[in-house]
Amino acid sequence: MRYSLVFIFILLITSCDYFNVKKISSEAILKEELETFNWNDVDEYPSFKACDSSTVKEDRTICFQQTITNNITSYLQKEQIVVTQDINDTIMLYFQVSKKGELLLLQSKIDSLTTQEIPNINQLLINSLDSLPKIFPAIKRGQHVTTEFKLPIVIHVN
């Protein structure tokens, strides 16, 4: 009987560890959340008012890209560009849309022949972007975020 009481007493003392709750600090929760956070994806892509009618994320993305492409293309078609050689080039444009919805051309990769034939191509691209309608910034977890993306533009001049 005595051994039974000692055994029960030891069992009670050691079993109390099972009821200890581990406290997790807010820093540990934040660190874990940041590690699992997908930084390369947004909940809502940047958008124009014309693209708001679409509810599917992919459709809004395509609408946004087509609006920029169409705007640049129509602007360049209005300009009187005179060349000595035919140009058929794909220009790669790298953009940034800020939290405030401001579009910034970060970089453009243009073939040397295109730059030689149209020396003011960068200025033409920047001017075409200035005529874009208001941009609504991307949203990640309910917050406006800055996003970067690239967009190919095909230039064909005879």
Instruction: Examine the domain organization and report whether 71 and 24 are in the same domain.
Output: no
Instruction: Examine the domain organization and report whether 57 and 110 are in the same domain.
Output: yes
Instruction: Examine the domain organization and report whether 77 and 16 are in the same domain.
Output: no
Instruction: Examine the domain organization and report whether 69 and 136 are in the same domain.
Output: yes
Arithmetic mean of pLDDT, 149-154: 90
Query: Under a CB-based contact definition with an 8 Å cutoff, are residues 105 and 95 in contact?
Result: yes
Instruction: Examine the domain organization and report whether 8 and 64 are in the same domain.
Output: no
For the CA atoms of 95, 124, 152, 51, what is the dihedral angle to 10 degrees?
70
Arithmetic mean of pLDDT, 60-72: 90
* Range in 2-11, 89-98, 123-132, 140-149 with the lowest mean pLDDT: 2-11
Instruction: Examine the domain organization and report whether 59 and 17 are in the same domain.
Output: no
Number of folded domains that form the chain? 2
Whether 111 is in a domain gets the answer: yes
Number of helical H runs and strand E runs in the chain = 5, 7
The pLDDT tens digits for 6-61 are 777 776 666 655 566 666 777 777 677 666 666 667 788 889 888 888 778 888 88
Whether 136 is in a domain gets the answer: yes
d(CA 126, CA 121): 9
What's the pLDDT band for 89 if we cut at 50, 70, 90?
Answer: confident
Whether 41 is in a domain gets the answer: no
Instruction: Examine the domain organization and report whether 64 and 20 are in the same domain.
Output: no
Instruction: Examine the domain organization and report whether 84 and 9 are in the same domain.
Output: no
Instruction: Examine the domain organization and report whether 147 and 69 are in the same domain.
Output: yes
Instruction: Examine the domain organization and report whether 145 and 81 are in the same domain.
Output: yes
* Alpha-helix runs per DSSP H in 18-146: 26-36, 57-78, 112-117, 121-130
Whether 42 is in a domain gets the answer: no
**Residue 12: domain span:** 2-36
Instruction: Examine the domain organization and report whether 58 and 14 are in the same domain.
Output: no
